[in-house]
Amino acid sequence: MEEEQQKKLRKRKNRSFRNGFVGGIVGGTIAVASGIGIMAVTNPLNHQTPAPTTQATENNVTTTKTSTAAANTNNDISKVVENVKNAVVSVINKQASGRNSFYGNQQQQQSNDELRTASEGSGVIYKKENGYAYIVTNNHVIANSQELEVLLADGTREKAELVGSDQWTDLAVIRIPADKVSTVAEFANSDEVKAGQTAIAIGSPLGSEFATSVTQGIVSANNRPVPTDVDGDGQQDWIVNAIQTDAAINPGNSGGALINSAGQVIGINSMKISKSSVEGMGFAIPSNEVVSIINELEKNGKIVRPALGISMVNLTNVNSQVVHQLNLPKDVKGGVVVAEVSSKGSAKAAGLQPYDVIVEMDGQKVEGIQNLRKILYSHKVGDKLEVTYYRNGQKHTTTVSLTETNNPSL
């Protein structure tokens, strides 16, 4: 009798275990299937291409081979941070506030004593030269600023000068007097970054009140393609190849350092997945791209990129009636539709017209605007590209000689 009761008890336990296990699987599947969410830059205001490769000079910043002496040991993270934290600063974006005039409309405050902090981010000191300390940060951190201020790790405040910025890579260079600067960061070769290695984020989450905050995690993935809306039109128009990390990145960390266990900068923190159901998905611009961009910004104040001289729309965004009028072959599912052609652009000279559908460029398939720009911006002004397109259902090929543009839409 007692033996039968024990058997029944064991059966009930087994059923409870199986039910709990199945329930756990179902619950986990629902959580994963609920979606990733939207991208959001880590600046509190929620305000992001390969660049031409510059020839190395004595003054150019370069990357360094990862220090195996430090990387292969179980370093005390506090010692690593101690060596680099003074190179990480807070960047304060000041703008004029508006006030109501006698007539009820807004008047812009222009004098310096009326400027107010509009947003705060982070930055990394990477070079001292000719009495200046150069700092890399995010473009969205300094956007629309009327004055920039830098808060050093020791509490010193310095007014900063904008050297150059680039909307597409979300990078900017500013500089301050170098007399109070004691530490300069070193860039690692981001091609050597591997998933699973230690990643440490240093910056000012939520602003300078929490300056030089440190969070630790790992590199979750390298060379992760992240679709991004650069020009704020609500459409994803660029793909950032970023380092993904689970180190905590919060508003204000933008422009701060992501370092390895050797204390070298492997990336500049730029954005994160912003959704309540998502945790630990931050992204940094790889150090190799950072170095290429900041060297160009120091020289020219901007990134010089080639252009086709067109405005365009993804074929997938065109309504079915217009697609029918384009008379495309049934197997053409991707590409970009030329909306307008600049009268002085390279596309005009090559014979492209509105309603042409570009499907291939430089021998690579064009699926949409994102990868068209990737192909285009991998070339320099003056390069010649072969472009394949459809017009009235007929396939054509032309050669385009690339010209320069300051307009990222072309």
Give the closest residue to 389 by CA, choosing from 317, 322, 332, 330: 332
Radius of gyration of the chain (CA): 26
Dist. CA 219–CA 221, nearest whole Å: 6
Dist. CA 263–CA 124, nearest whole Å: 13
Give the closest residue to 378 by CA, choosing from 270, 286, 241: 241
Strand, coil or helix: 121: strand
Measured between alpha carbons, how far is residue 190 from residues 78, 258, 289, 370 in Å?
23, 11, 9, 23
Measured between alpha carbons, how far is residue 37 from residues 3, 215, 340, 349 in Å?
55, 23, 33, 42
Catalytic residues: 140, 170, 254
User: What is the residue-wise DSSP string for 145-203?
Assistant: -SEEEEE-TTS-EEEEEEEEEETTTTEEEEEEESTT------EE-GGG--TTSEEEEEE
Here the tokens at position 56 are 């190395």
Dist. CA 262–CA 150, nearest whole Å: 26
Dist. CA 400–CA 349, nearest whole Å: 8
- Whether the Cβ atoms of residue 264 and residue 282 lie closer than 8 Å to each other: no
Here the tokens at position 381 are 């002004």
